[in-house]
A and B are shown apart, each in its own frame.
Chain A
Amino acid sequence: MNKKQFLKAISFILIALFLLIHLTYCVRTNGDVKDRFVGFYAEKKNTVDAVVIGSSPVYPVFATPKIYGDMGITMYPLSSNMQRPVATKYLVEEALKTQSPELFIFEMRMWTAEDENLLGNMAHTREVTDNMKYSVNRIKTINAMVEDPSERLTYYFDIFKYHSNWKTLALWSQLRTFFYSYPDDLKGYVAETDVGPCTVSEFASLTDKEPMPAEQEEYLRDLLKYLKEKNLNALFVITPYTVKEDEQKKINYMSDIVESYGYNFLDMNQHIDEIGLVFEEDFRDFGTHTNVVGAEKVTDYFEQYLKDNYVDKLGILTRDHRNDHYKSWDEAYKLYCDNIDNWKSTVQYNLDNEIYYDLEGED
């Protein structure tokens, strides 16, 4: 093989790999999780102040455009459905590749569950691994999340799974993800207008403790050590929901661990009145995820919490990016403002007419 042939062969392989990687990005299953991750990668370098990592309660509860509009803080959720705690550290690493957030926020609801109980639907694992760009960190994430090495192949090369989505290549919403980077209109926030009435959990007031699942405790301690090593600011939160007895005990338990490392732990279930949350109206699906009305209340409360505990106390998150002309964030806030009244009206309409969220219709 002469030099010319060698160069041709290498060029062919490189072009093939480039196309394979980027076309795979395009055919990855579309939806809000993909939009959120693609949106995160689209954020300009070092422009995100806070990253929220956690499962599905995150993206409908923190109205990130509103936080930007109210405080000038850019906060972005790297969340996916039933996100397994084992993924957390790797998502922090993923975020640090392009951003230098002043604060990491972790939603801890999933940490009360046994990992094996979160494994029922592998789609939840894939929502993390298959929404990351190809990198060494992605390989590490797969190795951590997929125990059986023989099953990892289709995770490393997710084209094995998604090639059958070729039909979606006709959609602009898919083609625009060729570089896995496209701004998300609402900066990861998903406005839910369904209503699912519930009542406040009687167990939220429990002070008893019960050990969290051993493997989750291990992941938590590992994460805390990692955060310390990297000198990262972190806040651990429980967003409002109808907590069960054993969950509340585990939350109390993990709260002690987190605080022993010097980090704040905010259990919002302890502040329902301050938040002003009405469980009968503010939840989308009977106590698990908030709707836009609930989100607005939680966000207002959370903004104040950030101000008191981080802006004023620690002197971080102080830069008001509204003065920095962050165009996409300005647009997201405008979109939020333009729609919030409509969204709230829909919630009210649903409430008035007792049109409630259909649990049976969930995937």
Chain B
Amino acid sequence: MGLTTFDFLCFFALLLIAYYTLPLLTKGRGQWIILLIASFAYFYANVRTSGNYFLVLYPLGSSFVTWLLLLLLSKVSEEDIVKRRIILSAELLVLLGILIALKYVKLITGGNIATPLGLSFYTFILLGYFIEVYNGIGVRQKSFLKTCLYGMFFPVMISGPIMKTRDSGEQFFETHRFDYKNVTFGLQRMLWGFFKELVISERLAVVVNTIYNNDTEYPGAYIMLGTVCFAFQLYTNFSGCMDIVIGMAECFGIVLPENFTTPFFAKNISEYWRRWHITLGVWMKDNVFYPLLRTKMITNLGKTLKKKMGKKKGKQYTTYVAMFILWFSVGMWHGGEPKYVIGSGLLHWAYIVLGEITLPFFTWLFATKMHINMQSKFADVVRVIRTFILVCIGDLFFRADSVPHALRMLKESVTVFNPQIFVNGSLLNLGLDIFSWGVLLVSLAILITVSTIQYRMENSEGEYHSVRELIASKGIVLRWIILFALLFYCIFLAEYGPGYSAAEFIYKDF
């Protein structure tokens, strides 16, 4: 049951009614049980068509193991480091074991192993929860069912966000009375998500698939166009899904962490990753990078490098090594195939490392030699464009069939010179007619405008913190015109309906 299906919307509407009416009978208690039942129902609905009912046992089993091991951990004294580590190892072994077995063995053997919905998302959420409790910064849930809700809360099972139970967890078990603002804002956010996914992403997918599936026929500027389209497709698909998920949770009175904050406005790759798939980055830093820096291997390496290269450089290069492992892990999380390891991992590591190493040189070149004001808006725009181009190269690997395929496309994108395709009507052979191109361009313009407003709000201390707040501050006529316009824009221009097979959320498979 996909998030953008009519069935799901009906399911959500019924759930919302149940969520706010049934607790009236229980004086507000047990509201979270409704979410748990809904999560079970959602998992069930997702395995129903395939008949693989056993898949529900995976998140259930992982939740049980986490709950049991935390129970054992609570009975072990703080000083008994060995036992505590054994319990931690058991948690890592079981949860990561299942993840690796289902995800990577499948990759190696090429077999067709059925995987449960949200495998890596619930694994990371439960692991993060366990590690927080282990480190004494999280609170253990005594109830097994409450632990299940951490591991199965259905909205985040599609593509995240990978929530920290320390920050988001307690909200699940609080009583949430119907709040007009929460529900209306949540629904507006969902609508925005549908706009991104069904109006923009689905149209871009047509262009991207045409070019990437027939790249020998579409060299040069086509590849560049296809890659830029894919960058926007991936963004609108993933962030659109997040808008739906976060908006849905907002309707329940639950605030989930943001996963995107206008990433294409980032001025460098590090900033990009602070704006793109934020919760994965945070999880990886908290649970891979920082623990890695504390390992014997890295600290010893640090000492050695400091001796040889000096304190500053030694520390810097030690961090690069740890970052290599971090980015390798990020790439592996995306599926483990070399194209993901490069496109979503190591290439970005290389960007960051090379960026830092070459920073003094370029500062000297541009500021001192060429007398360019590095603080100017123009310089910022150039940085944004540069970052976007670098991201696009990574996305080319991400979208290509394989690394050799990506390399060939990369080469063909610069060796064939055919900019005339933008003016001679060739774009109309990419699967979209002139009207669809028109809708796409108008929609992208809307997206960029709204993103720009959002970006400015984030970087100023104005009265409003989101576009929704800004709209809410307007009079009812203007407000409703905007909302009706967006609603009907989506209803009429979205790609759905009989005979139309909507693309899945790309990150659903991760």
Contacts of B483 in A (CB 8 A): 12
Least CB separation from A150: chain B residue:
B7
State in angstroms the CA–CA spacing of A291 and B352 once bound together: 77
Query: Of B337-345, B383-391, B485-493, which binds chain A?
Result: B485-493
Q: Is the CB of B496 within 8 A of A160?
A: yes
Q: Is the CB of B488 within 8 A of A23?
A: yes
Known A-B contacts A1-B178, A16-B487, A153-B6; A160 and B498 likewise in contact (beta carbons under 8 Å): yes
Residue A159 interfacial (CB < 8 Å)? yes
Tell me what chain A mostly uses at the interface: helix, strand, loop, or mixed: helix
Residue A167 interfacial (CB < 8 Å)? yes
Q: Is the CB of B498 within 8 A of A154?
A: yes
- Among A2, A164, A167, A169, the one with the most B-chain Cβ atoms within 10 Å of its Cβ is A164
Contacts of A19 in B (CB 8 A): 484, 488
Known A-B contacts A154-B498, A167-B435; A159 and B491 likewise in contact (beta carbons under 8 Å): yes
Return A145 CB to nearest CB of chain B, in Å: 15
Q: Is the CB of A166 within 8 A of B498?
A: no
Q: Is the CB of B178 within 8 A of A23?
A: no
- B1-21 CB mask vs A (1 if < 8 Å, else 0) is 000001000000000000000
Known A-B contacts A1-B178, A5-B180, A154-B497; A160 and B6 likewise in contact (beta carbons under 8 Å): yes
Q: Is the CB of B493 within 8 A of A166?
A: yes
Contacts of B496 in A (CB 8 A): 160, 163
State in angstroms the CA–CA spacing of A15 and B479 once bound together: 14
Among B178, B484, B492, which residue has its beta carbon within 8 angstroms of that of A16? B484
Return B13 CB to nearest CB of chain A, in Å: 11
Q: Is the CB of B491 within 8 A of A20?
A: yes
State in angstroms the CA–CA spacing of A27 and B480 once bound together: 23
- Among B491, B493, B496, the one with the most A-chain Cβ atoms within 10 Å of its Cβ is B491
Residue B494 interfacial (CB < 8 Å)? yes
Contacts of A15 in B (CB 8 A): 480, 484
State in angstroms the CA–CA spacing of A161 and B492 once bound together: 10
State in angstroms the CA–CA spacing of A167 and B488 once bound together: 14
Within A47-97, which residues are at the interface with B (CB < 8 Å)? Answer: none
Known A-B contacts A5-B180, A16-B484, A23-B488; A164 and B497 likewise in contact (beta carbons under 8 Å): yes
Question: How many A-B contacts at CB < 8 Å in the complex?
Answer: 42
Least CB separation from B498: chain A residue:
A154
Q: Is the CB of B488 within 8 A of A160?
A: no
Q: Is the CB of B497 within 8 A of A160?
A: yes
Least CB separation from A162: chain B residue:
B497
Contacts of B498 in A (CB 8 A): 154, 160-161
- A10-23 CB mask vs B (1 if < 8 Å, else 0) is 00100110011001
Residue A157 interfacial (CB < 8 Å)? yes
Least CB separation from B6: chain A residue:
A153
Among A1, A2, A9, A27, which residue has its beta carbon within 8 angstroms of that of B492? A27
Least CB separation from B494: chain A residue:
A163
State in angstroms the CA–CA spacing of A347 and B480 once bound together: 55
Within A153-184, which residues are at the interface with B (CB < 8 Å)? Answer: 153-154, 157, 159-161, 163-164, 166-167, 169
Q: Is the CB of A166 within 8 A of B492?
A: yes
State in angstroms the CA–CA spacing of A325 and B453 once bound together: 61
Within A91-142, which residues are at the interface with B (CB < 8 Å)? Answer: none
Q: Is the CB of A163 within 8 A of B492?
A: yes
State in angstroms the CA–CA spacing of A169 and B494 once bound together: 16
Within B491-510, which residues are at the interface with A (CB < 8 Å)? Answer: 491-494, 496-498
Within B274-294, which residues are at the interface with A (CB < 8 Å)? Answer: none
State in angstroms the CA–CA spacing of A9 and B6 once bound together: 21
Q: Is the CB of A1 within 8 A of B180?
A: yes
State in angstroms the CA–CA spacing of A169 and B489 once bound together: 13
State in angstroms the CA–CA spacing of A161 and B495 once bound together: 10
Contacts of A154 in B (CB 8 A): 497-498
- Among B178, B180, B476, B492, the one with the most A-chain Cβ atoms within 10 Å of its Cβ is B492
State in angstroms the CA–CA spacing of A308 and B483 once bound together: 61
Contacts of A5 in B (CB 8 A): 180
Return B499 CB to nearest CB of chain A, in Å: 9
Contacts of B484 in A (CB 8 A): 15-16, 19
Least CB separation from A20: chain B residue:
B491
Contacts of A12 in B (CB 8 A): 480, 483
Return B1 CB to nearest CB of chain A, in Å: 13
Contacts of B178 in A (CB 8 A): 1
Return A125 CB to nearest CB of chain B, in Å: 12
State in angstroms the CA–CA spacing of A20 and B435 once bound together: 22
Within B431-473, which residues are at the interface with A (CB < 8 Å)? Answer: 435
Least CB separation from A159: chain B residue:
B491
Contacts of B476 in A (CB 8 A): 8
Contacts of A23 in B (CB 8 A): 488, 492
Contacts of A153 in B (CB 8 A): 6
State in angstroms the CA–CA spacing of A249 and B85 once bound together: 88
Contacts of B487 in A (CB 8 A): 16
Least CB separation from A8: chain B residue:
B476
Contacts of B184 in A (CB 8 A): 9
State in angstroms the CA–CA spacing of A27 and B488 once bound together: 13
- B348-368 CB mask vs A (1 if < 8 Å, else 0) is 000000000000000000000
Least CB separation from A2: chain B residue:
B180
Least CB separation from A4: chain B residue:
B180
State in angstroms the CA–CA spacing of A166 and B497 once bound together: 14
State in angstroms the CA–CA spacing of A196 and B416 once bound together: 56
Return B509 CB to nearest CB of chain A, in Å: 26
Q: Is the CB of B488 within 8 A of A157?
A: no
State in angstroms the CA–CA spacing of A332 and B446 once bound together: 48
Contacts of A157 in B (CB 8 A): 6
State in angstroms the CA–CA spacing of A157 and B178 once bound together: 29
Contacts of B491 in A (CB 8 A): 20, 159, 163
Return B2 CB to nearest CB of chain A, in Å: 14
Contacts of A164 in B (CB 8 A): 497
Return A150 CB to nearest CB of chain B, in Å: 10
State in angstroms the CA–CA spacing of A15 and B483 once bound together: 12
Contacts of B492 in A (CB 8 A): 23, 27, 163, 166, 169
State in angstroms the CA–CA spacing of A92 and B150 once bound together: 56
Q: Told that A9-B184, A20-B491, A167-B435 touch, could you supply 11 new A-B pairs with CB distance under 8 A?
A: A1-B180, A2-B180, A9-B180, A12-B483, A19-B484, A19-B488, A153-B6, A157-B6, A161-B497, A164-B497, A169-B492
28 pairs across A/B with beta carbons < 8 Å? A1-B178, A5-B180, A8-B476, A9-B180, A9-B184, A12-B483, A15-B480, A16-B487, A19-B484, A20-B488, A23-B488, A23-B492, A27-B492, A154-B497, A154-B498, A157-B6, A160-B6, A160-B497, A161-B497, A161-B498, A163-B491, A163-B492, A163-B494, A163-B497, A164-B497, A166-B492, A167-B435, A169-B492
Where the two chains meet, the residues of A that have a C-beta atom closer than 8 Å to any C-beta of B are 1-2, 5, 8-9, 12, 15-16, 19-20, 23, 27, 153-154, 157, 159-161, 163-164, 166-167, 169
Q: Which 3 A-B pairs have the closest CB atoms?
A: A166-B492, A160-B497, A5-B180
